[in-house]
Amino acid sequence: MRACHLAATLLVLLAPLLAAASACKKSEASTPLADVVASEHGFTPASLKLPGGGPGSHGTVTFVRTTDKTCATEVVFPDLKLEKKLPLNEVVSVELPTDAPKTLTFQCGMAMYKGAVVVTAK
């Protein structure tokens, strides 16, 4: 009987700690991982590299917007005439041509925040 009482007491004492640990994991997982984050400070990082490939090759860059306090609600690649909406906390994949070395600039819809994807040589 004493062992059951001890186990019940431990369970009551440990329950809040387990709940707190679970909440920590949940908050860490709630921010999706992406190559580029759009926040109130713009795009981070402002520049990244993609390895070049052969003719017709493409690479993927992912974006996520983490706040409503930004005008970066979309990403625009002017040279490619490519625009993608950035819904809050959703990872958005953008396929980019990597057939030759080049710098592909991107910006928010208002051109206030800017960045670049540098396609490197093979």
Looking at the fold, whether 93 and 41 belong to one and the same domain comes out as yes
Q: What is the pLDDT of residues 15-46, one digit of tens each?
A: 443 344 444 444 444 567 999 999 999 999 99
The domain containing residue 7 runs over which residues?
A: 1-30
Q: What is the pLDDT of residues 99-111, one digit of tens each?
A: 999 999 999 999 9
> Does residue 101 sit in helix, strand or coil?
coil
Number of domains in the chain: 2
Question: Which one is predicted more confidently, 83 or 1?
Answer: 83
Question: What CATH number has the domain bearing residue 53?
Answer: 2.60.40.420
Looking at the fold, whether 20 and 65 belong to one and the same domain comes out as no
Looking at the fold, whether 59 and 8 belong to one and the same domain comes out as no
Among residues 106, 53, 103, 48, the alpha carbon closest in space to that of 75 is found at 106
Backbone angles phi, psi at 8, to 5 degrees: -65, -40
- In the Cβ-directed half-sphere of 48, how many Cα atoms lie within 13 Å? 15
Using CA atoms, how far apart are residues 106 and 62, in angstroms rounded to an integer?
13
Looking at the fold, whether 76 and 116 belong to one and the same domain comes out as yes
Q: Give all strands of the β-sheet with 92-97 in edge-to-edge order.
A: 42-44, 36-39, 58-65, 92-97
Looking at the fold, whether 52 and 110 belong to one and the same domain comes out as yes
Looking at the fold, whether 20 and 68 belong to one and the same domain comes out as no
